[in-house]
Structure 1
């Protein structure tokens, strides 16, 4: 309720040109601070909010009230889900469950189908994992699979990267989609259904099809397999911390064990190291349980009457927090106790997954405050009137705004937050399906053409041993394909829902 009070309290000038200047200077401040002065996005968004409020002639106390309200609302709506998702991802990584899923599929398919399987498996394990963690887990397996089948590295690697990136940009419970859902007031279940539908053609085009094309044009020598201490060391420099086992080897989830199927051969305390492989079916169920519960809720809302008892039950178990919590509890058994972890190790793994997302939560929170200042200052209403004058589709508008901020800042999260704040007033007059599609359009725009100002660009470059030119030709073009094909899928869905 705090941000609603702030919306009433702020008294902006109503001068359209002043609001345009305020928005441009506020966004420019964030861009310059992040890209040129290398200020952390959390601080950049706070300072940008102050600039926006000052130029739009909003009282300083009202800016603070609006910003604080946006922070509180965003953390309350999104922070819990990000934390619970990180816990599931932590259990999946540390137990070796992710590697078990990958090997279960890649070891049983002909070489010609390997890129397709790799894209699908990456999308599956990408549901609960942050992109950076997925890369750390998958790269050693990609290189090993490419070497064993004598295929070009990019033919196998691009589908894996595409599967991770598409899920990261389009499908909750990843931070970007969750922030947009919260900002636009979209229905999570409906967005999840549409996101999964849009993800299928997007992964296919940007993954196996583009991988086949680019692998013939960018000859890439396979770098040395990133196993052992190399992967463990790299993992500690990212957003998500990795732990070493008592034997001094990287934790299983970091890809440090030469063959994840031999986890029962590890030495050490059974309370701290996995003694058995996670079951494939149990691992897949754990990953998909939150998604299934939220999908069941969405299906119930579409097919059952409001006073139906089954719908009421589905509404409860499909509530995002309940669904994610169910996934965490299940992971404690299927990816914890079932592989031989003691209670201390399970607790340490769950707790250890949280410090790594602190930065993400702070950026998301500050972005929510920046978004609220944009809205309360009247920038969103101005953009809405502008879009009506141009007769521009709200879906295309959301995509274009996200693309512009993505190119400037290199941050998909900042692009999603800012774009959602700018176009959020337009969502008020839209039906529930269109609002859900608007979330996806913004998410698609937020991954457009990753280049040198994006940390993901350098992560992929280093792990695959590519030059800057090779990374642009492969990774950057793949991200652009994801963005464009994702938007086209959203526009097609808008014709039928």
Structure 2
């Protein structure tokens, strides 16, 4: 970024709510993040409360009037929830429909029936990537664990040879591919185009998941050669159903939002005329809310009805799908509030100045910031929303593709080295019956590979597009 572009951005930026210099702002940022980390890790406070208190601490130490800090935080929370809240809700509904109808099991069983031997790790990556598109990471793990254990036992595979590819597929989707909450929040924060981010995210995700999944699983299986634990396999949803939806219909329903959003991005590039009727139609049907809403409505007929769900059962299913995401929405919203507080206190401009003085590529800076927050808090979502707030001003001078790559750099950094302060670390350890050391050698290393490979690919893409 040139000195001229930095000065232009400074001229366009709103007046900060504090007159603090760079040194004081730097201390305020470090203190605000330290408060968040301390509250999450030491005092086990919920991330929503931690982000709220951290935002107030940031503003106070930066010398901003607390009434203006409250206004900044509230505005950021409101705009973030308005931007991505409905999308997260629709994604949760689609995921619940996929799980409860047996559609997820149908995809799994169909792909497994076609795979065997050496192709099984690749089949697990494919299953996890498809299932992981509309599902939150934790839900995806719960859905896939029975499959991983079953395949490992029946095929006499090392648990790592089957489990690592499945976990890699879920994790890559979670960090890099919308409509997951993390990428959506980053897209909203930096003003990136969702369709372009989705297309580039898939482009980065494919080689990343291959390296971190089937390739790394060979080494993970040697380092930690354990069988599937002898414990009761959780019951699958379809075992309670008389019938379940077809494979083709289920796959179409899952991929429909992706198809519509990518179609919009393609038409925008090819037509490139906002007044063109065709582009206007695709701008509507490819909008994230419409694409996900269409998938949910289609799912009623392709997933729920074939599984025997009556009209009376649909409303309770939707209600149950929305309850677990309350915490996620609050964390995402508070992250948006923290982001706005960072911007309004002038931290965004400070980051612009530092990136110019240090000559650090914006994408690398975004990745490093997300890595540090991920290591400190253990939460990929907190790392994403916080890093997005810090580097959002950098996107103002970027092309559409580079703004999308900024989002992916943040997402890649947010996955770096999951360890003992990450809930996902303990989920994997307990489900697979691993020791802490074994989990670090496999799961933690896999997450680091995803982060480094994806970050490297993002930097490489930035040089060629």
TM-score normalised to the size of structure 1?
0.89
Structure 1's unaligned 5+ residue stretches are: 1-6, 232-254, 267-273
Segments of 4+ moved more than 4 angstroms: 7-10
Q: Does 1:190 align with 2:196?
A: yes
226 and 139 in structure 1: CA distance in 2 versus 1, 3 angstrom threshold: farther
Q: Distance in 1 between matches of 2:152 and 2:359?
A: 49
Tell me the distance in 2 between the aligned counterparts of 1:467 and 1:11. 49
Corresponding position: 1:105 with 2:111: yes
Q: Distance in 2 between matches of 1:342 and 1:226?
A: 31
- 1:198/1:490 contact within 8 Å kept: yes
Counting matched residue pairs gives 452
Corresponding position of 2:209: 203
Matched, 1:301 2:268: yes
Q: Secondary structure of the residue that 2:114 maps to in structure 1?
A: coil
Match of 2:371 among 390, 394, 403: 403
Give the match for residue 384 of structure 1: 352
Larger helix share, 1 or 2: 2
Give how far 1:225 is off.
5.0
Aligned-residue CA RMSD (Å): 1.2
Deviations 1:158-182 (A, max 9, x none): 0000000000000000000000000
Matching of residue 220 in structure 1 with residue 259 in structure 2:
no
Alignment of 1:404-483 (within 5 A): 404-483=372-451
Displacement of 1:10 after TM fit? 4.4
Structure 1 CA distance for aligned equivalents of residues 54 and 388 of structure 2: 16
Contact 2:16 2:346 in 1 (8 A): no
In the TM superposition, residue 111 of structure 1 has moved relative to its aligned partner by 1.4
CA distance in 1, matches of 2:51, 2:44: 13
Post-superposition shift, 1:106?
Answer: 0.9
Q: Is the 8 A contact 1:42 1:366 kept in 2?
A: yes
Q: Do structure 1's residue 356 and structure 2's residue 328 form an aligned pair?
A: no
State the secondary structure of the residue aligned to 1:428.
Answer: helix
Deviation digits for residues 315-366 of structure 1, max 9, x if unmatched?
1100110001001101111111121111121221111100000000000001
- Asked if the contact 2:121–2:214 (Cα under 8 Å) also holds between the matched residues in 1, the reply is yes
1:20 offset after TM fit, Å? 0.4
Which residue in the other structure is 2:182 paired with? Answer: 176
Q: Deviations over 1:429-476 (max 9, x none)?
A: 111110000000000000100000000000000000000000000000
- Whether contact under 8 Å (1:10, 1:59) holds in the other structure is no
Aligned to 1:146: 152
2:385 and 2:132 mapped to 1: Cα distance? 21
Residue ranges of structure 2 left out of the alignment (5+ in a row): 1-12
1:78 correspondence with 2:46: no
CA distance in 1 between partners of 2:17 and 2:298 (Å)? 49
Q: What SS is found at the alignment partner of 2:397?
A: coil
- Give the corresponding residue for 1:282: 249
